[in-house]
Amino acid sequence: MLKLVSIGLLSLILLIPASWVMSLMDERQSRATEVIAEISSKWSDPQTLAGPLLRVPYTRVVKNKRWEDGKPIEEVFESTEFAYFLPDELMISGDLSPHVRHRGIFDAIVYDSRLSVRAKFPELDFARWNIEDGRVHWAKAELLTGISDLRGISENPVIRLSSVNLPSEPINDIGVNVNNLQDGSNESGIVTKLPWTQRPDSALSVTLDLQLKGSERLYVVPAGKTTDVTLAGSWSSPSFEGALLPVQAPDITAERFSAKWKVLSFNRPFAQQWINEEQNLVGSSFGVRLDLPADQYQKSIRTAKYGILIIILAFTALFLVEITSRVRIHPFQYILVGVALIIYYSLLLSISEHLGYNAAYAISSVATVILVALYASTFLPGKSMVGLFTGLMVAFYGFIFVIVQAQDYSLLIGSMGLFAIIAVIMYFSRRIAWYK
């Protein structure tokens, strides 16, 4: 009983260096995140594309009647406000060319993209707001396209109205929030002045060809009443995120991916037309994230979370060998075995940064098992016991590797595995006379 209590205390004490290793992993992961952010900031941040949409100014007239010296006086106030119109049909196709940028041992994903946008607007109707055509400033109508980071524009955008190319300018306040951040900052984009002198006599059709750089992800806001989006690229491990998923299973091969979305105005939380207010388009965007094939930090952290389980299983195996073989193992020997099992995770982290998680797991596991087995041979009786203990350690690390790899089934596999381990311990300890 005293030995059991001492083993329990040793396991608790070893939680302290285990927490240090976890902190080290978090620190390295934070460092990797900082490096990725630095690379992205020099290339271009993740991009969100919104629009195009029409902004047409008009004069608002407010009449106010007041009394002065018993006589009614009517005052008229005029102000310029804006009406916004989204397209009825919006078709976006994009092709991404990702690149991996290296900074020391860290990697970051950036991309070049070619985007083709087709937008068809309805006939503009101001009568629904009781605004006469005479108060609409058609000559000042503008076409707005929201782009979250203008540094990503690598060539001058080509905007066509029918067959006429229109010039565009950058603007930092388009009146529409398209940024993916919660603080709503960076309402940036490009503005195109339309060559109107009076109300257009037909629906407006616009095309936009854009070469856009970005990092990690590309999102699209479903600005159309019907929005069709197709994104493809030469990357084998994409992740489709945002408010909406592709309409069908994406086509993903070892070299490319392709995905399609179709979104209706019923599927988004903002209106098709509005006046005199700033509309927030954030929250409905969707798109693709370019993931690295493996994130060694996440897998290393998940592996380290099972550290106390490995220690308990190893100590349990040693204790059962000690009881059944009538050999005495000193607590200091338990401590050395436990420390070796803790250092294993530091070894795993450092090697994975250079060789990847799978290779690091194999190297670290083999090295740790050999070290512990050679040390155990100095106090375990006979080669059979050493071989049994070594086999158990190999089984333990193999069990943890399967759990980490099978992320979707990790809870099921872990629960079944632990149940089987308890059953085996019960079986082999059934004949032990614990009171003797």
- Which tens digits make up the pLDDT trace of 248-282? 888 888 889 999 999 998 888 888 888 876 667 76
**Nearest Cα to Cα of residue 237 among 213, 262, 217:** 217
pLDDT at 91 over 90: yes
Rounded to 5°, the CA angle 98-45-353 comes to 60
pLDDT at 92 over 80: yes
Q: What's the pLDDT at 259?
A: 93
pLDDT at 333 over 90: no
Q: What's the pLDDT at 319?
A: 80
Q: How far apart are CA 98 and CA 17, in angstroms?
A: 40
Contact 56/83 with Cβ under 8 angstroms? yes
Q: How far apart are CA 162 and CA 146, in angstroms?
A: 21
The phi-psi region of residue 381 (left if phi > 0; otherwise alpha if psi is between -120 and 50; otherwise beta) is beta
Q: What's the pLDDT at 228?
A: 95
Residue 285's identity, in one-letter code, is S
**Residues 383-407, mean pLDDT to the nearest whole number:** 83
Helix axes 307-325, 2-13, angle to 10 degrees: 160
**Residues 173-178, mean pLDDT to the nearest whole number:** 51
Tens of pLDDT, residue by residue over 34-52, are 777 777 777 888 899 988 9
Selected residue with higher pLDDT from 381 and 84: 84
Q: How confident is the model at residue 200 (pLDDT cuts 50, 70, 90)?
A: confident
Cα separations in angstroms, 147 against 28, 47, 170, 171, 404: 32, 7, 10, 10, 39
pLDDT at 148 over 90: no
**Nearest Cα to Cα of residue 303 among 30, 25, 27:** 25
User: 430, exposed or middle or buried, with CB in 10 Å at 0-12, 13-18, 19+?
Assistant: exposed
Q: What is the DSSP string of 141-181?
A: -EEEEEES-GGGB-S--EEEETTEEE--EEES--SEE--SS
The winner for highest mean pLDDT among 8-12, 171-175, 221-225, 423-427 is: 221-225
pLDDT at 173 over 60: no
Tens of pLDDT, residue by residue over 281-303, are 767 889 999 887 656 777 777 77
pLDDT at 208 over 90: yes
CB atoms closer than 10 angstroms to residue 106: 17
Q: How confident is the model at residue 180 (pLDDT cuts 50, 70, 90)?
A: very low
pLDDT at 184 over 80: no
**Residues 403-431, mean pLDDT to the nearest whole number:** 78
Q: How far apart are CA 258 and CA 238, in angstroms?
A: 9
Q: pTM for this one?
A: 0.70
User: By percentage, how much of the chain surpasses pLDDT 90?
Assistant: 15
Tens of pLDDT, residue by residue over 20-29, are 777 776 777 7
Instruction: Estimate to the nearest angstrom the gap between the alpha carbon of 270 and the chain centroid.
Output: 24
Q: What's the pLDDT at 178?
A: 47
Coil, strand or helix at 430: coil
Q: How far apart are CA 293 and CA 402, in angstroms?
A: 18
Contact 243/208 with Cβ under 8 angstroms? no
Q: What's the pLDDT at 260?
A: 94
Q: What's the pLDDT at 434?
A: 67
Q: How confident is the model at residue 436 (pLDDT cuts 50, 70, 90)?
A: low
**Residues 88-111, mean pLDDT to the nearest whole number:** 85
Backbone angles phi, psi at 74, to 5 degrees: -100, 125
pLDDT at 420 over 50: yes
Q: What's the pLDDT at 181?
A: 33
Starting at the edge strand that comes first in sequence, how are the strands of the sheet with 89-103 ordered? 164-166, 158-161, 204-215, 106-121, 89-103, 226-233, 257-264, 251-252
